[in-house]
Amino acid sequence: MVDIHEVKVGTLAPHLFPFDQSVQSVKGIEGAGYDSMWYVDHLMGLFPEAIWTPDITPLARFVNSPHTYPDPFTLMAAHATQTNKILLGVSVTETIRRHPAILAQTALTLDHISKGRTIIGVGAGEIENIEPYGLDFSKTFSRLEENLRIIRLLWSDQLKKKTFQGKFTSLKDAVLALEPYKKGKYPPIWLGAMRPKMLRLTGELADGWIPASLNLPRLDETYKKNVNTIRESAKKAGRDPDSLTASLYAFVFAAKTHEECHEMFKKPMAKAWALATSQEVFDVAKIKHPLSTPNRKFSVLTQYIPTRYSRAQILEAINKVPEEVLEYCPIHGTRDEIIEKVEKLARAGLQHIIMCDMTAFADPTKIIESAEILGNVLKYIKGH
């Protein structure tokens, strides 16, 4: 159990250019008291460009594509030079596009630039960022496990040559002599784990857990169960289970009333966002995911490539998303309702929440209002 006032609070880092504007934003985020700022590692976004039009979302008037993402590590380095205390994390990258030796080197470089403030979130990967770009998206769990071991190996005894024979990646007389900013203190690796074997891998090899919203009616109960699985796995691996940080990358819809959130859930972009979840959410409404196929349970991580859907296909799918599904996708509600949900999660073991504000995607007129609400949630957690 964690007291809510001990929970660290993160937010999404600004990633749209012009760059100078993003610098002002990150200074404001640090000044507001956020503990961390997180950078998305995407080549392709979750919204299909087929519906990224002004009649569906006014945001299309300001950003020409939903797939507009800079390289997160370059941006983290630049923002690190403009901040002093805030933690900087990537949420999350993978070791298919990022060779483990390169990721190990990048993490250490950022560790120096940020003076020890870098967190590396890693997952097994999403098909949308891999298969369309000619990379192999098979055996993702096995690749991740092997590559994490390679990173740990390269981060040991810097002056010693390393040899490793793996199924997917091998080293022979390899070196990575760069040491961390603080001797012996490597950048923490947090795993984006959802399934049991990924949870066990988190306990065995990672320093923290960073799942996306778990999308379940009893989120706090599921969260506690998963934290226990991770800590038990850490014990079995001979590690200190309390050394791992339990976090949550929480998608949030915020409004002055609960009813206003449900009005937003009726918007096309809110339902389009719900499509970027998996079958478990739709099980609540006892329906199949609208993008599922007759013989295969839908998984956003392994099947969803937004650029391959037509406007007609997505609009038809959106019309099949019931409001009930949105009830269990994001954390949503008023300031007090969001605080209540964070308190339940803290009692379940949450130590670090990252609040990703999705409100503006559903209703851009509420962008200032939702930011103020989440700012007040931050103040409450910080005891201000």
Q: Is residue 218 part of a domain?
A: yes
Is 156 inside any structural domain?
yes
pLDDT for 151 equals: 98
Q: Do 107 and 187 meet the contact criterion of CB atoms below 8 Å apart?
A: yes
pLDDT value, residue 215 = 64
Q: pLDDT, tens digit, for every residue of 319-362?
A: 999 988 888 888 999 999 999 999 999 999 999 999 999 999 99
- Specify if 272 maps to a domain: no
288 is a domain residue: no
Binned at pLDDT 50, 70 and 90, residue 294 comes out as confident
pLDDT at 90: 98
Does residue 241 lie within any of the structural domains?
yes
Q: CA 214: distance to chain centroid?
A: 11
Q: Which domain holds residue 179?
A: 4-254+332-381
Residue 164 lies in a domain: yes
* 289 part of a folded domain: no
Q: What is the CATH number of the domain that holds 94?
A: 3.20.20.30
What percent of the chain clears pLDDT 70, i.e. is strictly above it?
99
pLDDT tens for each residue of 4-51: 999 999 999 999 899 999 999 999 999 999 999 999 999 999 999 999
Q: Which residue has the tokens 């002093």?
A: 84
Count structural domains, the chain: 1
Look at residues 131, 284, 285, 291 and name the one whose alpha carbon lies nearest to residue 216. 284
Residue 175 lies in a domain: yes
pTM value? 0.96
Query: Could you read off the pLDDT of 127-156 as tens digits, one per residue?
Result: 999 999 999 999 999 999 999 999 999 999
Going by pLDDT thresholds of 50, 70 and 90, the confidence category of residue 295 is: confident
